[in-house]
């Protein structure tokens, strides 16, 4: 089944792929020149990933560190640009290394063109990586 092409449907599909731990399929949703940004990334963390390959390298081992189980409280907002959405959500699950709970709030600004993600600004909480058990983050850098 082909991936949906509307920004809202594509984003919902991308979350399902993350829950399924299908990182190759998630990366396949990206445009070759897609840009992923982390405006609040702490010192030593990437702030910008340019291109599908950089996104793939960043996400490749994500399921080895975080067992995502749900995205509760998902709210998707339309913008004046029909190709751009703003998503608010929580990601919940467990940290693989120590089975500690994982609970992170996110705001993402996502732009989709021609059925692929071209821009993804991820406004996650950098304070969470300073909490006990948060060494999951070091492996995602």
**Residue keyed to tokens 């913008």:** 79
Q: What is the pLDDT of residues 83-102, one digit of tens each?
A: 999 999 999 999 999 999 99
Residues 27-36 have a mean pLDDT of 98
Kindly state the percentage of the chain with pLDDT values over 90. Answer: 79
**Number of Cβ within a 10 Å radius of residue 42:** 13
Going by pLDDT thresholds of 50, 70 and 90, the confidence category of residue 20 is very high
Dihedral class, residue 73 (left if φ above 0, else alpha if ψ from -120 to 50, else beta):
left
pTM given for the model: 0.87
Residues, the chain: 141
Domains by residue range for the chain, with CATH? 7-140 (3.10.450.50)
CB 123 within 8 A of CB 40: yes
């Amino acid at each position: 089944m082909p991936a949906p092409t509307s920004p809202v449907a594509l984003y919902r599909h991308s979350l399902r792929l993350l829950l399924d731990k299908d990182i190759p399929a998630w990366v396949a949703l990206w445009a070759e020149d897609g840009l992923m940004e982390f405006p609040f990334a702490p010192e030593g963390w990437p702030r910008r990933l340019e291109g599908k390959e950089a996104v793939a390298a960043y996400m490749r081992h994500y399921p080895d560190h975080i067992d995502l189980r749900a995205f509760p409280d998902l709210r998707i907002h339309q913008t004046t640009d029909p190709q751009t959405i703003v998503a608010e959500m929580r990601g919940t699950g467990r940290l693989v290394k120590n089975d500690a709970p994982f609970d992170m709030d996110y705001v993402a600004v996502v732009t989709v063109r021609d059925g692929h993600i071209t821009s993804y600004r991820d406004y996650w909480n950098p304070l969470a990586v300073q909490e006990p058990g948060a060494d999951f983050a070091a492996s995602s850098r």
